[in-house]
Chain A
Amino acid sequence: MILDWISLENFRQYFGRQELTFARGHERRVTVIHGVNGAGKTSLFMAINWCLYQEGVENVGELVSKEAISQAEPGQQVQTTVELSFLHRGERYLLRRGLRGRKGKDGNFEVDPVTEFTMRRTRSDGQSERVKNPIGTMNAILPSNVRTYFLFDGEKIDNFAKPETSGEVKEAIYLVLKLEILDRAHRHLEVAAQEYRQELKKVSSDELRSLIERNEGARTERENAQLRLAELQAEIVSARRKIDDIDKRLRELENAKVLQQERDRIEKALEQRHVELDKITDRIRDLATGAYIIIAYPAVKRAIEILDEKRQRGEIPSSIRQQFVQDLIEQMRCICGRPFADGSPEHQRLLDLMRTRVPGALEDDVLDTNAALQPFGERAERHRQDLDEAMRQRTELVDWIRDLEAELDDVQRQLRGSPLEQVRNLEEQRQGFLRDIDRYNLEIGALAERIENLTREIEELDRDIKRARKDQRRELLLGRKLELAQQAADGIGKVYEIFADDMRSSIEAKTKEIFKQLVWKESHFQDIRLDENFNLEVIDRYGMPARPELSAGERQVLSLSFIAAMSRISDEEAPLVMDTPFGRLSSHHRNSITQCLPELADQLVLFVTDEELRDQARANLEPRIGAEYRLEFNRNTSCTEIAEVIR
């Protein structure tokens, strides 16, 4: 980050709009802002911090120019803004932070608590765009918690050099040199890995393997069953063929011929009766499905009776429509066409029918219900008759079959008892094949049922496997995520140690190099050490720790050396903005710092009093000053104007 220009409007003692442009050349990179005590150096320093980070201000109400409030009319709005432009990695950023307030009729000033902030970025091609994530962007450029090491009050920076402040040194190195980022990334990745591990425990199981094994087992069993089924069917075909052969041979044998022919007839008749029995059984099943008519009939019959009773009592209309009755009365004619006299029984009967008049819709419903229920009885009766007839036919067929089977048994018994051994043997073989067929059919039945069950089981297992595969994909992804998170955390952990050691050594060497350039007693201070606990130590010529004995000026020089070293090591392009940096320094240190400091920062902004920067110190900086301003305080208005010093 290299500061370009700043513009203040009604900011503290800066009434109206005040602007200044920072020096940012390679050679002339120093901006000097002069001001006596109270002229507004700290306010200007505060304006930079507030605009960039909204920090460094405790009460925003104090930011509004009192002069602007005083000049405002009651009810008039006063606006305070700071605009700041800076360059970073080839892009220009423009920041605008502002707040508004209104002067009340009682003269009090009410500040709107909402601060307005805009950040825009202009690329090298001149295109400007709004930065959507300004906090994230600033954190990537110069984080707010790092700013204090680049924008600081010169008189307070000796903290780093105080013996009790190793914590601050460590924090500075952590933040500026990105150790904090590595540390946080390590911790957060460990947490992520831990969460993935927990999640994985929940979804991980051997369910899929078990389901696949069960599925394979079921499929193998079904395949074997189907093979066995085919074998049995082939056996049945073979047995039937052998029975046919036996029958043929029996037909050819004189002593068995008649019996065999008788058996052929009976078997044919049996086959025919079985076909008929199957048909009649189907018919009975169909009739039974519609048997609700018979079951419901008593209720329907009762409903018809109730309707009739109500009609008799005149509670519901007769089965004659009201309009028809009305027409007959008007024509004074009976339903048979014969005229009747007024007051006659026919006339009276029609008038009675009219008395039971009900609304048209109800009349329709009653008549429709009556019409629908009347044929119900006929249908139920017909249904019962059909069912009785089918049952009778079935009983007849069953008796018939029983008789035929008895006849068949008789024939077979005669063949088994034949005096001819050949006939007896053939018949015994035949009976054996028939028993085999029965056994095969039994087994086929059991197998078919098993195959059906297995098919259902396989379908269910297929569905479960599909679901488990989905879970497995999730498990696979979680496993990979865990691997990545854990390896990333471990990797950062390992790199962290190396990197932290690198940074500590680099800072130590650079601080030493700069300190030697800045301190005037360079021969007395032999070494600078930054130990593993980040204690910053100065070693004197006796090899003894000398930090407790450092003067305030020397502590400031040590701190400055440390900050400049961090700036160099971090290699982040950033300005050093220092408020009253030389106040406590003797001329020796002022001279050395003014000589070296421009080389140690990419941009240097110094807020100084006239006393701080004079003689040799001024002469040292002179060739590097690119912009110079004087803060002119007006005693009459208590306002400050920024005046450029023409060089």
Chain B
Amino acid sequence: MINERIRDLFAGFDKDLKAVIMDVLRVEQEHISMKRPRVKDQINEIITRVAEKGLGQ
């Protein structure tokens, strides 16, 4: 229910934006037990991948 509700709330967002948000949430979920998770590189990879795809690079 929670995951569906979250997906619903982002349903109206732009496709690329939604892809970034869902992937970042997945990464955050995987690191939720850590107090200071090192997710910077993974988040950058997600954003770069979506941005490059969007720009056709």
B57 surroundings in chain A (CB, below 8 A): 473, 477
**Bound CA span A180–B25, Å:** 10
A499 touches B21 (CB 8 A): no
**Bound CA span A485–B50, Å:** 11
A488 touches B2 (CB 8 A): no
**Bound CA span A578–B33, Å:** 22
Known: A139-B29, A144-B33, A181-B29. A189 touches B24 (CB 8 A): yes
A192 surroundings in chain B (CB, below 8 A): 40, 43-44, 47
B33 to chain A, nearest CB (A): 4
A139 surroundings in chain B (CB, below 8 A): 29-33
A498 touches B9 (CB 8 A): yes
Please tell me the number of chain B residues within 8 Å of chain A, measured between CB atoms.
Answer: 35
Q: Mark B23-52, 1 if CB is under 8 A from A, else 0.
A: 011101111110001011001100110111
B9 surroundings in chain A (CB, below 8 A): 495, 498-499
B residues 5-31 in Cβ contact with A at 8 Å: 5-6, 9-10, 13-14, 16-17, 20-21, 24-26, 28-31
**Bound CA span A570–B6, Å:** 12
A127 is an interface residue with CB less than 8 A from chain B: no
B29 touches A569 (CB 8 A): no
B32 surroundings in chain A (CB, below 8 A): 139, 143, 145-146, 175, 180-181, 184
Known: A139-B31, A189-B43. A491 touches B25 (CB 8 A): no
User: Looking across the interface, which residue of chain A has its beta carbon closest to that of B16?
Assistant: A484
A182 is an interface residue with CB less than 8 A from chain B: yes
Question: Among A130-138, A205-213, A427-435, which stretch is in contact with chain B?
Answer: A130-138
**Bound CA span A258–B38, Å:** 102
B55 touches A480 (CB 8 A): yes
The number of residue pairs between A and B whose CB atoms lie closer than 8 Å in the complex comes to: 104
Contact of B33 among A143, A177, A189, A487 (CB under 8 A): A143
**Bound CA span A137–B30, Å:** 7
Provide the main secondary structure of the chain B interface.
Answer: helix
User: Looking across the interface, which residue of chain B has its beta carbon closest to that of A137?
Assistant: B30
Which of A137, A145, A185: most chain B Cβ within 10 A? A185
B1 touches A488 (CB 8 A): no
B17 surroundings in chain A (CB, below 8 A): 484, 487-488, 491
Q: Mark A452-485, 1 if CB is under 8 A from B, else 0.
A: 0000000000000000000001001100110011
A361 is an interface residue with CB less than 8 A from chain B: no
B30 touches A484 (CB 8 A): no
User: Looking across the interface, which residue of chain A has its beta carbon closest to that of B44?
Assistant: A192
A488 touches B55 (CB 8 A): no
Contact of A477 among B31, B37, B52 (CB under 8 A): B52
A315 is an interface residue with CB less than 8 A from chain B: no
**Bound CA span A499–B8, Å:** 10
A571 touches B43 (CB 8 A): no
A491 touches B21 (CB 8 A): yes
A184 touches B37 (CB 8 A): yes
B33 touches A477 (CB 8 A): no
Q: Mark A157-200, 1 if CB is under 8 A from B, else 0.
A: 00000000000000000010110111011001101100000000
**Bound CA span A199–B41, Å:** 15
A138 surroundings in chain B (CB, below 8 A): 33
User: Looking across the interface, which residue of chain B has its beta carbon closest to that of A184?
Assistant: B28
A72 is an interface residue with CB less than 8 A from chain B: no
**Bound CA span A491–B24, Å:** 13
A477 touches B55 (CB 8 A): yes
**Bound CA span A175–B33, Å:** 10
Contact of B47 among A140, A473, A481, A570 (CB under 8 A): A481
B5 surroundings in chain A (CB, below 8 A): 499, 502
B25 touches A181 (CB 8 A): yes
User: Looking across the interface, which residue of chain A has its beta carbon closest to that of B4?
Assistant: A571
A492 is an interface residue with CB less than 8 A from chain B: yes
B20 to chain A, nearest CB (A): 5
A residues 568-596 in Cβ contact with B at 8 Å: 569-572
B44 surroundings in chain A (CB, below 8 A): 192
**Bound CA span A140–B51, Å:** 26
CB-CB nearest 8 A-B residue pairs: A136-B30, A571-B1, A480-B51, A144-B33, A495-B9, A143-B32, A181-B28, A481-B51
Question: What are 6 inter-chain pairs, A to B, with CB distance below 8 A?
Answer: A139-B30, A182-B6, A188-B39, A485-B20, A485-B47, A570-B1
Extra 8 A-B pairs, beta carbons < 8 Å, given A178-B29, A484-B50, A498-B9: A144-B33, A146-B32, A185-B25, A480-B54, A499-B5, A570-B1, A570-B2, A572-B2
